[in-house]
Amino acid sequence: MAKVLVMHGPNLNLLGRREPDIYGYETLSDINDMLQKQAAAQGVEADFFQSNHEGALVDALQQAQIDGVDFIILNAAAYTHYSIAIRDAIAAIQVPVIEVHISNVHTREEFRHNSVIAPVVMGQILGFGIDSYYAAMAVALKKIKEKG
């Protein structure tokens, strides 16, 4: 069975309570439940991982390659803007990665405008609230189906 890994970076465990004017009121569990249903409807397994620690995210990216994951949806959160370690981990694996953000980082503080991981991911989806995740899963499912 095809598998998608959804990875959530630092502070996303606080969704629903953290700055709801920016991130909304849905929790991480709400997002994961939505994505689980979306993947299952297409016969695809979805696994989820959240960590506030850079090294744990790097380990999970590397493990995804070993485990034969077909696609990764990654919200690296703050690490997006400066983690060369996460960027290099993505570049080192052959699993396609989509970068996701709930908010439109380009309309926020200037330090959020740059993504060091953008050059090594398949693409970015951002600014649509939790629908950014939904759209990323739709792309992942389409690519898995095309791959056969």
| Domain containing residue 57: CATH number | 3.40.50.9100
Output the average pLDDT for the chain: 93
pLDDT recorded at residue 20: 78
pLDDT at 111: 64
Q: What is the model's pLDDT at position 61?
A: 98
86-128 per-position pLDDT tens digit: 999 999 999 999 999 998 777 776 766 679 999 999 999 999 9
Question: Which domain covers residue 59, as residue numbers?
Answer: 3-147
Total structural domains within the chain: 1
**Catalytic residue (one of 8, 23, 79, 133):** 23
Which pLDDT score, from 0 to 100, does residue 19 have? 78
Q: Is 101 a catalytic residue?
A: yes
- Could you give the CA distance from residue 79 to residue 89 in angstroms, rounded to a whole number? 13
Is 23 a catalytic site residue?
yes
38, 26, 28, 86: which is closest to 61 by C-alpha?
Answer: 86
Q: Which residue is catalytic, options 101, 106, 133, 134?
A: 101
Confidence band for 129, pLDDT divided at 50, 70 and 90: very high
Q: What is the pLDDT of residue 92?
A: 98
pLDDT at residue 104, as a whole number: 78
What gap in Å lies between CA 12 and CA 118, rounded to an integer? Answer: 20
| Angle (deg, nearest 10), helices 131-147 and 28-40 | 30
User: Could you tell me the pLDDT band of residue 18, with boundaries at 50, 70 and 90?
Assistant: confident
